[in-house]
Structure 1
């Protein structure tokens, strides 16, 4: 259900969120998140264009979050790179379906539940998790 692009964006954002005030190069982020660098660069550009990430050029530069981790949700990141597409009308274009059929209504409920779940989790919660497994970002 979650695209590879969204997964990679979440890895990068969580990694940056776990290292506040410390800009990370694309190379370092790629290594720490296990994301191919070329792919990650495109994802970072999308995040920057949307204002979630900023790039600092020059020595000591790199990528960092533009917003605080407690203001940034999983849904913000996902909707920036691969929005969840809700089903608003019959995907088959059937004129007899003024409302969604039972199948598409149930699918849309699942999408709505996913949106709500993603909106309810901040990046801060991810990076401050007390789980024994450190999420998404492998540091050296």
Structure 2
């Protein structure tokens, strides 16, 4: 449904949202999120380029969320690194299909519903969930 890059970006943002006071280094984030460091660095650069995270260099530096977790949605994160592709025209390039055929119209409706679902959930809501499984952390049984 979503790309590996989007999954990694969501892990990183969720991790950063757990401690908005202190910057987290790429090494710490890679360890906590179980994302290869080199890949994570590229993901963090994309997130920074879209204004979702900021980076601070030097001792005590690292990455922080640019906005409060209650202002960032799952869709914001996905769109920053690997947007969902909607179907706007015939994927086959058929000239006679001046609008979407029934199949592609239904597929696009599913993409629209997915976008709406992701836009309706903030990172704060993920972290405040009553689900006993805590994102990115092992929970003692």
TM-score where L is the length of structure 2: 0.95
Matched, 1:93 2:93: yes
Distance, in Å, in 1 between the alignment partners of 2:79 and 2:137 is 21
Deviations 1:34-82 (A, max 9, x none): 1000000000000011110000111111100001111100000000100
Q: Which runs of 5+ in 2 are unaligned?
A: none
Q: Which runs of 5+ in 1 are unaligned?
A: none
Matched, 1:72 2:61: no
TM-score where L is the length of structure 1: 0.96
Q: What does residue 124 of structure 1 align with?
A: 124
Q: CA RMSD in A?
A: 1.3
Report which structure shows greater RCO (CA 8 Å, sep ≥6). 1
CA distance 1:137–1:41, change in 2 (3 Å): farther
Q: What does residue 106 of structure 2 align with?
A: 106
Cα distance, 1:99 vs structure 2: 1.2
> Between Structure 1 and Structure 2, how many residues are aligned?
139
Cα distance, 1:20 vs structure 2: 1.1
Contact 1:11–1:137 (Cα < 8 Å) also in 2: no
SS at match of 1:70: helix
